[in-house]
Amino acid sequence: MPVEIVFCAFALRPRQTILLAALAIAGLGLVCFFLVNWAGYSGEAEMINFTITSLGILCVAVVTGDLSKLRYRLSGQKRLLEAALARIEQVARTDELTDLANRRRMNELLDSEEQRENGHYYSSIALLDLDHFKQINDQLGHARGTWCCRPSPTRASGCCAPTTRWRYGVARSSCC
């Protein structure tokens, strides 16, 4: 039973661990009291057993409390890392200029479409090319070129689902 209490203590919060340790020490004190007064055991031997066992219980309580705090901190860091990873994955698959899916995401979507196709389902791809984009960029600057690129995906929104539109290249937007 003491082994079970020790292993269960690792799952408790620090206050619960302290309470469990206090109850265990109090129970041990009662047992030692009964052994000395009614069973005839040596008081000195029981005092030594009580002291050593109580110190062990206290040490386990301190260690489990520290581990509980560490586990809590690690779970918080894990949540932060998961959020950061989700953001990194989103950034890796999104074109920063248009906020559409980029070429990497387009390849993933095309692969999944190819896997899904079973002979009864057809896919199509439409490419929209912005004419004279290089000239706009060269003559008016990148800020004006960016301004020209941003609205083009919204023009295709009537014929494409938002999850299947992407930016393929410098001035090309696609939808599937």
pLDDT in tens, 43-62: 898 899 999 999 998 888 88
- Residue 98 counted as domain residue: no
Query: Are residues 45 and 125 located together in one domain of the fold?
Result: no
Are both 60 and 121 inside the same structural domain? Answer: no
Q: How many domains does the chain have?
A: 2
> pTM for this structure?
0.56
What type of residue is 77? Q
Spatial neighbors of 167 by CB under 8 A, at least 6 apart, are: 95, 97, 98, 100, 101, 102, 103, 149, 153, 173, 174
**What domain range includes position 23?**
2-92
SS3 (DSSP) at 76: helix
Percent of the chain with pLDDT over 70: 72
Same domain, 164 and 109: yes
